[in-house]
Structure 1
Amino acid sequence: MPTSTPAALITGGTTGIGRATAELLHERGYRVMVTGQNPDTLDAARKELPEDVVVLRADARSLADADRVAEEARTRFGSLTALFLNAGITRPMPLEQADEATFDEVFQVNAKGQFFTLQKTYPLLADGASVVFTVGVGVTRGLAGGSVTAGSRGALLAMVPSLAVELAPRGIRVNAVSPGAIDTPIWTKSGMPPEMLAEITEAAAARIPFGRFGTAREVAETVTFLLSDAAGYVTGQNIVVGGGSGLTP
């Protein structure tokens, strides 16, 4: 297992679950680097995260940006003990309204971008390191209008077992976390009209046994566990953080 001060890279780490995980890992002694693309959230992260957290602009669709992020991690940290591949977008749309441009964007960010970030940073991963993908309960629990987003995240989930086997000789663990309905900015950034957003979030909360949305911090706690040595014998798994979502009709 890695013995030096742990270092973590988090894609999509300027808001929501990614940012909450960055804060939690920093609290627990990790050196942390986060990426994002939105100028406003990048600026807020630079101002509000601890000053030694590295905040980088990176387009999750760009392999050139993935190369640049990997080189920055190499320069600053030397190696990585934790990689949280969290960057993602959601674009709810009925089948008949789906268009090629949106389909390509969602798959490029959610699947292609995260896979190639892993490829580019793989040489930096220390033996015994941990990789976690954000997937989501929508991959296995149907939601009308969610097929494109679920398909892109489901591609990651399908990769997890094979990657876990492939990286096991170096003791590198690969897992996924599937948040349920979590109170993060991804809902407001989805582009849904306010009335549709309110209807969907109300219906979602009503189907959760806990009767509420989860918090980004609650998901971050699970991610931090998977990234830590406490989960040293856990690989190839998908952990749902959903307040019991799906347990009742």
Structure 2
Amino acid sequence: MGLLSDKVALVTGGTAGIGLATARRFIEEGAFVHITGRRQTELDAAVESLGTQAAGVQGDVADPHAVDRLISAITHRHGRLDTVFVNAGGGSVIPLTEITQQDYERHFSVNVAGALFTVQKALPLMTDGGSITLVGSVSASRNVPDMSLYGATKAALRSLGRSWAYELTARGIRVNVLSPGPIDTPASYAAAGAHDDEARQQFRNQMGSLIPMARIGRPEEVAATAVFLASDQSSFTTGAELFVDGGLGQM
């Protein structure tokens, strides 16, 4: 018996990095997992790697119609959700002087609006006593050079999570924020513009020099915390923010 036996889970942005690692851990703990991704080829590959306890729905969470299709697919297959891991999102390194209206709209439409409407539309399927985990970032509470826009979206998500946790107490649904630091994922390298092995190693070295544990994290380390928040092991934890950042934002 795993910590998530017979649970039905949703992991948005589940084709790589933190999302894929979390989907894999949820399945190992006994859950059936629905994942989303924007690109069908990558989504198909992720579902194949996860096996028969996974299903994929293609779409961009910034598109309300895509979220509707996602919820419809879950309703048709299971008719319920026990845990939602809101991971889809992203950001870019952009100095203040270079932020455009398009940058602003892109960051907030995916990281904030996408999360908001995913949670809102999932609620009718949520079982009482279920859990919602929002993926935040240490960038929301610690200065990260040239990532003010990304950090602002994650700060907004932290605020929303606190409010939703209070609103959903009557149903026993717990809402928490999991905030990673720099993690060894394709998204981290893309945000930093590290597109080859040398640049990725430079990113790891640079970030590691700032982190008390002297290294960046692994997706599996974030996934382990995600399992805790999704399971009954965290039955008295709601409205909280848990950092998986090697101490970057704490010391």
> Per-residue deviation at 1:82?
0.3
Say if 2:244 is the partner of 1:234: no
Say if 2:68 is the partner of 1:67: yes
> Per-residue deviation at 1:245?
1.3
Q: State the match for 2:227 in structure 1.
A: 224
Q: State the match for 1:93 in structure 2.
A: 94
Partner of 2:186, secondary structure, is coil
> Per-residue deviation at 1:152?
1.0
Where structure 2 has 5 or more consecutive residues not aligned to the other structure, the ranges are none
> Per-residue deviation at 1:60?
1.4
Q: State the match for 2:105 in structure 1.
A: 104
> Per-residue deviation at 1:4?
8.2
CA distance in 1, matches of 2:167, 2:249: 31
Return the match for 1:214 from 195, 209, 217: 217
Say if 2:207 is the partner of 1:204: yes
Return the match for 2:248 from 241, 245, 249: 245
Matching residue's letter, 2:112: A
Q: State the match for 1:51 in structure 2.
A: 52
Contact 1:111 1:155 in 2 (8 A): yes
1:20-35 to 2 correspondences below 5 Å: 20-35=21-36
CA distance in 2, matches of 1:83, 1:220: 13
Matching residue's letter, 2:138: V
Contact 1:66 1:117 in 2 (8 A): yes
Q: State the match for 2:7 in structure 1.
A: 6
Q: State the match for 1:149 in structure 2.
A: 150
Partner of 1:132, secondary structure, is strand
CA distance in 2, matches of 1:153, 1:247: 17
- Deviation track 1:193-213 (CA, whole Å, cap 9, x = no partner) reads 558765544221111121111
Matching residue's letter, 1:162: S
Dislocated runs of 4+, deviation >4 Å = 193-200
> Per-residue deviation at 1:40?
3.9
> Per-residue deviation at 1:247?
4.2
Q: State the match for 1:183 in structure 2.
A: 184
Q: Which moved more, 1:57-66 or 1:188-197?
A: 188-197
CA distance in 1, matches of 2:150, 2:199: 17
CA distance in 1, matches of 2:221, 2:16: 14
Matching residue's letter, 1:222: T
CA distance in 2, matches of 1:247, 1:122: 33
CA distance in 1, matches of 2:137, 2:184: 13
CA distance in 2, matches of 1:97, 1:198: 26
CA distance in 2, matches of 1:30, 1:174: 19
> Per-residue deviation at 1:77?
1.3
Partner of 1:127, secondary structure, is strand
Contact 1:5 1:29 in 2 (8 A): yes
CA distance in 2, matches of 1:145, 1:198: 20
Where structure 1 has 5 or more consecutive residues not aligned to the other structure, the ranges are none
Say if 2:136 is the partner of 1:167: no
- CA spacing shift, 1:52–1:200, aligned 2, 3 Å: closer
CA distance in 2, matches of 1:51, 1:99: 43
- Deviation track 1:84-103 (CA, whole Å, cap 9, x = no partner) reads 00001111100111111121
Partner of 2:178, secondary structure, is strand
> Per-residue deviation at 1:46?
2.8
Contact 2:14 2:23 in 1 (8 A): yes
- Deviation track 1:62-91 (CA, whole Å, cap 9, x = no partner) reads 111111111111111111110000001111
Q: Which moved more, 1:33-42 or 1:66-75?
A: 33-42
Contact 1:160 1:236 in 2 (8 A): yes
Q: Give the aligned CA root-mean-square deviation in angstroms.
A: 1.8
> Per-residue deviation at 1:181?
1.1
Matching residue's letter, 2:120: Q
Matching residue's letter, 1:225: F
User: Percent of counterpart pairs with the same letter?
Assistant: 36
TM-score of the pair, normalised by structure 1:
0.94
